[in-house]
Each structure stands twice: as structure tokens, then as C-alpha cells.
Chain A
Amino acid sequence: MSSTETATSGATAAGGEKRITRKDLLMSWLIWTFFSHSNYNYERLQASAFAHAMTPIIKRLYGGDKEQTREALQRHLVFFNTSPDFGAVIHGITIAMEEQKANGEEISDNAITSTKTGLMGPMAGIGDTIGQGIVVPLLIALGISITGLGAQAQQSGDLTGITGNPLGPILYFILVAVFSIGVTYVMYTQGYKQGRSFVTSVLKSGLMDKVILGASVLGNIVLGGLTAQFVKVYVGWTVKAGETSVRIQQDVLDKILPGLLPLALVVLTWWLLKRGWHPIKLLVIYVIVCVLGAIPFMGPQPQFITDACGSSILQPYGPCADPVPPAEGE
């Protein structure tokens, strides 16, 4: 793996050796950044995007030779799928291998393809856990927080009076752009410079495991906070036994642990998802349960959303106000 240092030098070095220029590498990176999912499909996922990203390299290395161009294009149109940002290291490595091959080293088509397929799984695992699993939700949570969607929007329920801060989405956009483009660039250039052995040694060293663990700790704390802030379940039910009435929400649940129900609900949802329930199925079930829970069978018909208190099992926006309203009807 000594395909280094020449990244910045001229196109063809002495002795007719074919070299990738820095411009070729940047061009290939740009194409991948833009078009990685342009033709995303069930059959071979990112295959045509990979071949597209290789076109500046193929032109430089095999330009003019129809047979070699054809073989190179076909070589890169095989099934490929990875994380678009962290997985870009594979492109760098592939470019380095293509360069060696074009200069007469014994590298079979198979060696290139198996390098690609061998790395795309692990890189997808790492990239999707860090990118889609932790960094992006974290930045979105930050954006939501800045937008000002807090308890007050949920308490009143009426969104008309409240205006959000547009800075939230804008800041999120900038941060996620820096993250995504930056990672893709570093991966592309490092993959080309350091080659395959570097990547496998990093994968083996357990460094990525440490990064993922640390990021998971951070992610879990933020998710816990989001649960407290945004998941709202209130029981409006009042159990009456003779003279005494027990309000389930205030007198029972809040005494055990404030916000017990939202916490239990999130953990239950996680457990169901882990057991293979489809999120869409859960969405449908939850909406149905909410609507059923809102049927006013215990008290008078509510005139406004906020005065459903005590007439149904579940209660929107907040716990019931103090004196139980249906008492006056008795």
C-alpha cells in the first residue's frame, strides 16, 4: 500500500506511470457526495452511483482504451451499499487499488470487488450507528429545542398563538451539512492515502467501539431528556368509592414517580420494537388507543378539548385541575 504522496503531483509522472491527480480525487468525491442516492434501487442499491463516482478515475487511468474502460465500468456496477458518509473510505481505497492495477500490478477484478463488499457491511454498521443513530437525532433534538417547541406548546395545544424560532432548523441545517460533508471528505482522502490495511487495523483496534460507546452514552442521556420533555400521558380517570374519590394521575401515579407513565411507555415501545413489532403497526395501535381513551363515557360531553377532564380515561395536555368537575353533577 504505497500509493501515497502523489495525490498532489501532476497527471502522468515520468516513465508513463498513470497517476490520479488531486483534481480527479476531488471530482470523484463531489460526484459521490451529490449523487450517492440518485439512482437508489432495490436491485443493486448504490451500484450505479459507485460506478458514476469512479468515472473521473476511469477516464484518467483507462482513458482511450475501450476494452479497459468497459471492464472497469462493469467492475463497479456490482451490488454496493454502505453508509454514504463513513463508507466513503471504501471509495478512497478502491481508487488506490485501481491506480495500482492500471500501473501493472497484479490485482484481479475479484480483489477489488471483495475489498468493496468486505468493507461495506462494517462501515455501514459504524456509519449508520454514529450518523443516523446518534449525531443526526442529537442535532435534530437541539434544533427542536431552539425552535422553542416546549411544554407550553403542548400544554395549550393551540399552536396559533405560539411562534417558533426559525433559527432552530437553520442551525440544524448548517451543523448537519458540516458533519456530513466533512466526514465524507476526510474518509475519501484518508482511504486513498492510507489504504486498506489502515482501515482494517482501525476496525480491529476497538477504537470505533469506544467511540460508539461514548456516543451511545450521550445519545441515551439526550433521549431520556426528550422523553421527559415531549412524551405526555395523563390519566383523567377518577375512582370513586363512596365519599372519597381517588384521582389516578395526581393521587397515585405522581406519588410513585413524577412522569412514570411516559417513561414506562417509551421503554415498552422500545421493547416491542426490539421484539420485531413494526413501527407502523405501533403507530396505528397507539392512535386507536388514544381515540378510544378519549371517549367521554364517565361525564358530560366536553365543549373544548381542554375540558375533557374526568369524563374519559386519558386526558390531553395536562393533569386535571383540582376539584373534580363531574362532582357538581351529582
Chain B
Amino acid sequence: MVKNPKGERRLSRGAKISLVISTLVVIIGIPTAVQAMTFTETEPSSTVTISLFQSILIGLGYYLSQSPWIAGLSFYTLNRPLVAGLLVGMILGDPGQGALIGAAINLIYLGFISAGGAIPGDPGLAGWVGTTIAIAGNLNYGAALAIAVPIGLLGTVVWNARMTVDSAFMHMADRAADKADIGGVIRANILYPQAWLFLITFVPVTIAVFIGASFIGDVINGFPVWLLGGLAIAGGILPAIGIAMNMKFIFLGSAIPYFFVGYLVMVVLGNEVSIMVLAVIGVALAFLHVVFLGDRVSNASKPKSEKLRSDKSAESEAAR
């Protein structure tokens, strides 16, 4: 058996099983219970209803956002609320609206970085299900962002269930390797993990969206005005976390002042110019900065890259 340098991340068998069961309970159980309650109320809703076919497409979309089938690009594309929002919009018949809501939700996940398999919320689930609820419930900007946050947190449960159970397929790959069975290794890398992924992504999302999306929209629209106002305020504040998470990686050393330069340039230009304008200014300044720091760069940034590397190799980094 191969020694695992990350042994401390491994969970016991009991913990694995309970994690899986709790995932299924949370994802299937809550919408079902919610649905059971709605039958007693039966109030007419002003919201968009979502057909079974649309729910299936959304469930399929969320599965694809975690799967390898789109040239392995899913993590950078379908898993980002910006792209997911457009696709949900297309499924529900309003691409422009979907793209806009997706863009808003994506602000929270701007600095989203998956480090060593641990993710702070799942932008994929927030994008797919969050946009669906926002369109179905006709939510305002702040409420759309605020509902995306808990949904993104729920997504970590899906992610953990996947990362934990997939360890078992690793041992199938070991057994196949013992028999020099190349096909067995390939099956252990694709077939079983993808079947499991399909089960924990497509099934719960389809059911939750079909049963719960319009209902959750109704509940939120029933909130008192001041509470909706609070969510709207949160909509203005939550992007700060996405930006700060990104800053954790690059707000370092001699690059720090440029953050304030970018901020002031945008304020002076009246907040309405395209990011492209800033990017062009940024490329020019980056070039000047690197040229004029010359050979001192490697020394000046040594502690930074050293630190990054030790961070990474300890946490062993990557994601998709």
C-alpha cells in the first residue's frame, strides 16, 4: 500500500458513511419537507414555475460543471456563476437576465481558489441553483446574492461527499494495477467516480429545483421590507469578501500600492468605465514596475514566493 503524506485528511469509514447519508438527507430531505408544507398553504404565486424538463437540464448542467467532459474546462467555466447564470437563463428563456444575475453572484466568488481540495463554498451550486431561484422568484439584486451564499455552502457538502468517496476508487485502481490491468485503472479514474458524481449532483439538484425553487422565491418575497433592505445591503457588501480572497494571493510586497491606484482611478472615472480600460493601464504599469525594479525583483519577492511554495506543498494545491 502506498504511503499517504496527507494521511491526516483521511476520514474513518464511519465518518464517510455518515457524511454521505447526511448529504442525501440535506439535499433531498429539506426540499421534500418544504414541499410537504407548501401543500397546506396553496397560495397563488406570482413567480415563474419551472417545468420538469427545465429542472433536468439544470441538474445536468450542475453535473457537467463538476465533470471532466468539457475538455476538463468545467472548473473554470461551467462552475463559475457568470457562465452558469447565462446557461440557466437560456434554459429558463431569458439569457440576458441569467447572465446578469450570474455576474452578480460571481462577484462573491471572484477570488475563489481551491487549495488542496478544500473549497470555501461551491460557486457552481451557487451559480446554477442561485440563478434559478433568483429568476423563478423574481428576486432583487441583494436577495439574489444573499440566497446564493447558503446554497454555495451546501455545495461544500456535495464536494466533500465526492472527495471522500472517491478515495475508495483509488483502491480499485490499486487492485487493477496489481493485475497489470490498464483498463481497470481507467475505469477507476472515470467510470465509478463519474457515476457517483452524477448521483450526488444531478439527482438532488433536479429534485430541489423542480420542487423548491419557486417556493424559496415566494418565501423570500414574503419577507418584511426592512429585511429585504438588509439583504440588499448585503448585496453591496458581499463582493468585498470575493475581492479580499483574491487579494490574499496578490496583495503583497511592492504590488500593494497599485490596489489603491486602481481604486482611485475608478473613482475618478466615475465607476462606469469598462474593466478593460483599467487592465490596459495595469499592463503598462506592470511592465514599468518590473523593468525598473530590474534584478532586485528576484530578491525582493523571494520571501513571498518561498512562502507561497511552502504553503502550497504543505497543502498541496490544485483544483478543477
Instruction: Mark A residues whose CB is within 8 Å of B.
Output: 32-49, 51-52, 55, 58-59, 66-67, 69-70, 73-74, 77-79, 81-84, 87, 120-122, 124-125, 127-129, 132-134, 136-138, 140-151, 153-154, 157-160, 162-166, 168-170, 172-173, 176-177, 180-181, 205-206, 208-210, 212-234, 258-259, 262-263, 265-266, 269-270, 272-274, 278-280, 282-283, 286-287, 290-296, 301-305, 308, 312, 314-317
Contacts and interface: CB of A to CB of B under 8 A. Distances in A.
A43 to B, nearest CB: 4
Contacts of B279: 138, 142, 218, 221-222
A78 B282 CA distance: 42
29 contacts: A34-B72, A36-B72, A39-B193, A42-B117, A48-B169, A49-B189, A52-B185, A52-B186, A77-B185, A79-B316, A82-B316, A133-B250, A141-B275, A150-B271, A164-B103, A169-B103, A219-B246, A220-B258, A220-B261, A221-B282, A222-B262, A228-B263, A231-B236, A259-B263, A263-B260, A294-B226, A301-B225, A302-B225, A312-B226
Contact of A159 (B134, B286, B289, B293): B134
A287 B72 contact: no
A147 B82 contact: yes
Nearest to A65: B180
Interface stretch (B33-41, B209-217, B294-302): B294-302
Contacts of B89: 166
A145 B262 CA distance: 15
B116 A81 contact: yes
Interface string B217-258: 000000001111111111111111101111111111111101
B104 A125 contact: no
B106 A144 contact: yes
B162 A221 contact: no
A169 B83 contact: yes
Contact of A181 (B71, B244, B259): B71
A227 B263 contact: yes
A216 B233 contact: no
Given A169-B85, A293-B230, A39 B316 contact: no
A227 B285 contact: no
Given A137-B110, A217-B286, A221-B281, 20 more contacts: A39-B173, A42-B163, A120-B316, A121-B312, A136-B76, A144-B103, A149-B107, A157-B235, A165-B96, A166-B89, A172-B80, A219-B255, A222-B282, A227-B243, A227-B262, A228-B266, A228-B271, A266-B240, A294-B227, A316-B229
B9 A170 contact: no
Contact of B77 (A149, A177, A218, A282): A177
Contacts of A221: 258-259, 261-262, 265, 278-279, 281-282, 285
